[in-house]
Amino acid sequence: ALQIRKNLPNPPHRILTNSRDPVWEIELAGDKTAYMRFNDREFDNQYIVYIDAEKFYYHWLRSTDGFHKCPTRAKMPLDRKYAGAETGFSHGRENPVPLAYPHITFTGNEFSISFTNGITRTIWLIANGAKSFPIEVREFSQAELFHGLMGVGHAPITGAELKM
């Protein structure tokens, strides 16, 4: 049975690199790390939310979206694009993968989590025991929903704030 931790994980750690894009170090199981980046070249009005991976997984499993249904952890490595995510994350700090871009929608008491981009990256992070990770959203209301349900650390930050 899935259990939600009472103690929240630390937010992902933003690191300094030669890249002009902000980069985060993601803590994985077994003292491993992964790296993700925010590509801010096109949109300054995006928001970054730091997500508790376990809470995201819990809420995604409960999601009513049939198209972007969350697989169980045991089935995550069977995703048809999982090997591509594995390759993408293997480049490490030198070539971090882009942030995922999920959405959350409420209809009455039910909600759904869907993705514009990054579903397999998210599956890979959960399957590899990520504690927390950053996501990208393009509306403040979405950022507030994600942060309220499963956020860690401070409130959502804008892409413009990251460039300062």
pLDDT in tens, 99-147: 999 999 888 888 899 999 999 999 999 999 999 999 999 899 999 999 9
Both structure tokens of 67: 């198209």
* pLDDT reading at 16 higher than 90: no
- Distant-in-sequence, close-in-space partners of 18: CB < 8 Å, separation ≥ 6: none
The 10 Å CB-count burial string (b at 16+, else e) for 119-128 is bbbbbbbbbb
State residue 1's pLDDT score.
46
Residue type present at position 103: H
What's the one-letter identity of residue 87?
T
Q: Which of 30, 28, 15 is nearest to 96 (CA)?
A: 15
Torsion angle of C-alpha atoms 96, 99, 100, 105, degrees rounded to 10: 170
**Would you call 24 exposed, middle or buried from its count of C-beta atoms within 10 A (0-12, 13-18, 19+)?**
buried
Instruction: Write out pLDDT tens, residues 78-101.
Output: 999 999 999 999 999 999 999 999
Grade residue 41 by pLDDT with cuts at 50, 70 and 90: low
User: What local confidence, expressed as pLDDT, does residue 98 receive?
Assistant: 95
**Integer Cα distance of 62 and 80 in angstroms:** 22
